[in-house]
Each structure stands twice: as C-alpha cells, then as structure tokens.
Amino acid sequence: MSNSPAPAAPSESRSQPLALTAAAVTVVLWASAFVSIRSAGASYAPGALALGRLLSGSLVLVVILLVRREGLPPRAAWPGIVVSGLLWFGAYAVLLNWGEQLVDAGTASLVVNVAPILMALLAGRFLGEGLPPRLLAGMAVSFAGAAIVGVSMSGGGGTSLLGVILCLVAAVTYAIGVVAQKPALAHASPLQATTYGCVIGALACLPFSGRLVEDLAHAPLPATLNMVYLGVFPTALAFTTWAYALKRTTAGKMGATTYAVPAIVVLMSWLLLDEVPGWITLLGGVVCLAGVAVSRSRTRRAAVPVAGGAAAGPDAAGAGDAPAASRPGKA
C-alpha cells in the first residue's frame, strides 16, 4: 500500500498568488488613503469624514452584495463582524481622522504602526497562530523603518499628547478588529464580512450625520470627491481584498504586510503632492519593505523520510506558518 503524500490541490496552489495580489492591492489603496485624508480632513470634521466615507463604501458594497446574491452571513460569523464593524470600521476611522488633525503625518503613521505588533500578539494568544521567529524579526525590522519614516517626516514642532493618544487608541481598535474578523471569515465570505462590517460602522457613526450635512454644504468639491474616494477604494475595495487575503493566511502575517504602507505613502506623496522625501525617509521606506519581505519569507527545511516514503515534520513554512486550515480557529 502506498503512503506517498497526496499532491496539493490546484485551487490551493492558485489561491496563494491571488492572496498576495489582494494584500498588495490593499496596501496600495490604504497608503493612498493617507493622501486623501489630508485633503478631505481640511474641510470635514473627523466624525463627519468617517461617516461620509463609510456611507459611500456601504452603498457600493451593498449593491455588489445584491448583484452577487450572497445574502446574510451565518449566525456564527456575526460576533466577529459586529466587533470589527464597531471598532475597525467605525471607531478607528474617527480616531485616526481626529488624531491626524492634532499631530503631523509622520508621528501619526509611527504611532498607528503599533497595530501590527498588537495584532500578532493578539492572534498568537487568541487564534493560536503562535509567534514565528521570522515574523517577529520582520516586524522588528519594519517597525524600525516606520520609526525612521515617522521621525524624518515629523514637523519638528510640539507634538499634541492628545493626538498621540488618539492614534494609539486607533491602533488598538484596528488590531482588535482584525483579530475579531479572522474567525468570522471561517463562516462568511470576504464580501459579506466587509459589507456588513462597513454598514455597522456607518450606523455607529450616525450621530455625526448633522455635522456631515453641515460640512457638505460648505466643503469644496475636491474635498468631497476625496471623501467619496475613501469610501469606494480604500474602504469598499481594499477592505474586501484584505478580507480575502486574511482568510487565506494568518492575522500576524497580514499585519506585518501593512508595514509596506509608510514606504508607499512616501512614494505617493512624492508623485502626487510633490513632497520630495529626504534620503533618511527613503532609507526608512526601504527598511519597511525589507522587514515585510523577511516576515513573509519561508524557512526551507529538508524533508525527513519515514516508512513508506512520506516526509515527516512541518512544511517549509514552519509550524507557525502552517496554512490556516491546519490550525485551530482558522478558515
């Protein structure tokens, strides 16, 4: 009787490149959000901007959901969807908008980049993902790069303590929201998790509707278009591609991937805002990308033959990088 291992399913082998592509789309669109927030935030209050963004995103997502006839997610998915909707879609958007009005972009990006570290710790504790050495090493390198970018982009003036606290709380809500969404994706599709999370976030921000109406009446057209852009692309599209990728990998690795955002923000600011970065900023961006590469890399191990010719031991990813389906609580 043959004990040779079964070949990998074709759908599984195809899903990895698609997941990486989805993660890349998410990172680029989230980076572009920093540029749009800077523009729209000058004309819209933090809560109004968050509500306008979430309403725009919800409209697009609900239409797509109806066209695809996906309906409601199973009951088991709702706790994670509700938590991520309230904390990640709703609270995070308001807190980040408010924080960026009090501190410069460099400081904000540095403080918010605490989130991937919190994400990895929470996922290791509550989702059983563990803390693989390469993930920790990559996150340490990327955080150092984010610190370089943050310091180099800071305005040099006094930093608002309230602004730093708001960005830190935003990072906490971000991390908890992602970790809550991960188990929900075992039951719901990425589109369902994103749509209902966005709708719940919009409902939570309805108390800002009066200010949104007031700001809409006075805001210039470019600011309003930036708000709509935030809803359609960095929210509706990017959160869906994020959920797609998160369903196929660990929360810790997805969090580490977002460390590419500061590097892309630097590049976009250079191209779109004509803000020429200094060499230190560029160096920080390169370090961020290097850390992401380390965190996403795999340790190759020699297979140990056993009786019947099968290979023993974990795959090349290592125990902590095993596919999500092989660990408790994974999709």
d(CA 72, CA 94): 27
Enter the pTM of the model.
Answer: 0.76
Q: How confident is the model at residue 198 (pLDDT cuts 50, 70, 90)?
A: very high
pLDDT, residue 326, reads: 37
First and final C-alpha spacing in the chain: 32
Strand-pair partners of 311:
305
Whose structure tokens read 């079964």? 6
Residue 76's CB: how many other CB atoms inside 10 A? 12
Angle at CA of residue 83, ends 82 and 88, nearest 5°: 110
Mean predicted confidence (pLDDT) in 52-63: 98
Residue 181 in tokens: 């969404």
| 272-316 confidence digits (pLDDT tens) | 766 656 677 667 767 766 776 776 566 554 444 444 444 433 333
Q: What are phi and psi of 305, to 5 degrees?
A: -70, 140
Average pLDDT over residues 81-109: 87
Determine the pLDDT at residue 166: 87
Q: Are 322 and 173 in contact (CB under 8 A)?
A: no
Q: Which of these, 292, 76, 81, lies nearest to 192 by C-alpha position?
A: 81
Write the burial class of residue 218 (CB in 10 Å: 0-12 exposed, 13-18 middle, 19+ buried). exposed
